[in-house]
Amino acid sequence: MRQSKKKQYVSSVQFQRAGCWLCSFILAIVALLSCTPVKEYQKNKLNDSEMVLTNRKIEKTELSFLSYREGASGANAGKSGGGCGCN
């Protein structure tokens, strides 16, 4: 019993390490990308409705259920906490 608890602890630490590693990896990619200036009239691709950097309006219901059925929430420009309905 004691041993299994220890195992769980180790895996949790490993899990967090993996997360940190992934985050720094992504930040490194972002830093490496060199940006070219884009004029407002050159944004016909960026302004496509499928290119928005937020969730779609139609995803609202599924996102609220995902936030009830899963422990994690937030950082998705959506709602985090409050307004329960946590059935």
Partner 1 sequence: MKKLTLATIALYLGILSVFAQPLKQNDSAYKKRKLSFEEANLISSYYQQDGNNSSITGGIGTEKLTDLSTQFSIKLTKVDRKWRKHTFDLEMGIDHYTSASSDRIDLKANSSASYNDTRFYPSANWSMENEKKGTTVGAGGSLSVEFDYVSVGGQFNASKKTKDKSGEWGVKVFTYLDNLKMILPVELRSGPFIPRGTQYPWTDRNTFGTSLSYTQIVNTKLQLALLADVIFQQGFLGLPFHRVYFSDNSVHMENLPTTRWKIPVSLRFSYFASDHLILRGYYRYYQDDWDLSAHTLSIEPVIKPTAFFSISPFYRLYVQQATKYFAPYQVHTAANRFYTSNFDLSSFTSHFFGSGMRLATPGGVLGWSKLSALELRYGHYTRTNNLVSDVISLNLTLR
Partner 2 sequence: MSKLLFLLPLLMWQSQVKWETDLDAAIKMASEKNKTVLLNFSGSDWCAPCIQMKKNIFNHPDFISWSAENLVLVNADFPRSKKNKLTAEQQMRNERMAEQYNRTGIFPLTALLNPDGSIRKSWEGMPKLSAAEFVEEIRKNISHQP
Residues lying near partner 1 in the complex (CB under 8 A) are found at: 11-12, 15-16, 18-19, 22-23, 26, 30, 33, 35-38, 42-43, 45-46, 48-53, 56-62, 65-66, 68-77, 80-87
Integer Cα distance of 23 and 32 in angstroms: 14
**Nearest CB to partner 2, comparing residues 26 and 38:** 38
Task: Note whether 52 binds partner 2 by CB under 8 A.
Answer: no
The CA–CA distances, whole Å, from 63 to 44, 68, 74, 81 equal 29, 9, 10, 12
DSSP run (H or E) holding 27: helix 2-32
Integer Cα distance of 51 and 70 in angstroms: 27
Q: State the binding partner of 41 from partner 1, partner 2, none, CB within 5 to 8 A by kind.
A: partner 2
Q: Which residues bind partner 2 (CB under 8 A)?
A: 39-45, 48
